[in-house]
């Protein structure tokens, strides 16, 4: 059966394309969705691509993944650095999770160097722009082998 990946994008990622393009690149979130859909299809996987500015909604989606998805790819935006609730939800879901950031969080302000998501992720892809999301699809494919 085709495996399903839940792709979660956190706060402000709906603004991609116009939001600090020198840091986050020129691709819109729609462009990233299209590229990921094509990439996932090429390795016989489906993606369910979502964005929310609300922590509680993201926690609800992660809980849903217990029943409906095989893996999670998450760019939690600023919630990466603050959300114990998202970390706990990911730990409660026994599915591989890959963390993605467009920018290299370790090259930026100190407060971005800590990630609660990393404690619940198989691994982290940071600093490769939109390509990082495509790398994450390969990482998930490999984890689900
Ligand atoms: C980000 C990095 C975060 O520190 C920031 O708050 C974001 C985007 C990234 O993709 O580089 O919103 O997750």
The model's pLDDT over 52-99, given as tens digits with 9 standing for 90+, comes to 999 999 999 999 999 999 999 999 999 999 999 999 999 999 899 999
**C-alpha dihedral (69, 71, 82, 102), degrees to nearest 10:** -120
Taking only Cα atoms into account, the Rg of the chain, rounded to an integer number of angstroms, comes to 14
81 lies in which domain range? 3-143
Let me know how long the chain is. 145
Give the distance (Å) from ligand 1 centre to CA of residue 37: 22
Q: Is 74 in the pocket of ligand 1 (CB under 6 A)?
A: no
CA quadruple 12, 129, 85, 30: dihedral sign: positive
Is residue 69 within 8 Å of residue 95, measured between CB atoms?
A: yes
- Across 1-9, average pLDDT: 95
The number of distinct structural domains making up the chain is 1
pLDDT digits (tens, 9 = 90+) for 88-113: 999 999 899 999 999 999 999 999 99
Bridge partners, residue 138, by sequence: none
Helix axes 131-143, 29-42, angle to 10 degrees: 30
- Closest residue by Cα to atom 8, ligand 1, is 77
CATH of the domain at 91: 3.40.50.9100
Closest ligand 1 atom, CA of 108? Answer: 4
Percent of the chain with pLDDT over 70: 100
Round to whole Å and give the CA distance between 64 and 133: 21
């Amino acid at each position: 059966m085709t495996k399903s990946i839940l792709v979660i994008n956190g706060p402000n990622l709906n603004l991609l394309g116009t939001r600090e393009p020198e840091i986050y690149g020129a691709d819109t979130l729609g462009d990233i969705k299209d590229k990921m859909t094509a990439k996932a299809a090429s390795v016989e996987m489906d993606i369910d691509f979502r964005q929310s500015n609300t922590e509680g909604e993201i926690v609800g989606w992660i809980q849903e993944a217990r029943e409906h998805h095989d893996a999670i790819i998450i760019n939690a935006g600023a919630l990466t650095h603050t959300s114990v609730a998202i970390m706990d939800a990911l730990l409660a879901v026994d599915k591989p999770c890959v963390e993605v950031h467009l920018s290299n969080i370790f090259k930026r302000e100190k407060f971005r160097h800590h990630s609660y998501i990393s404690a619940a992720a198989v691994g982290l892809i940071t600093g490769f722009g939109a390509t990082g999301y495509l790398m994450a699809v390969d990482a998930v494919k490999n984890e689900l082998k």
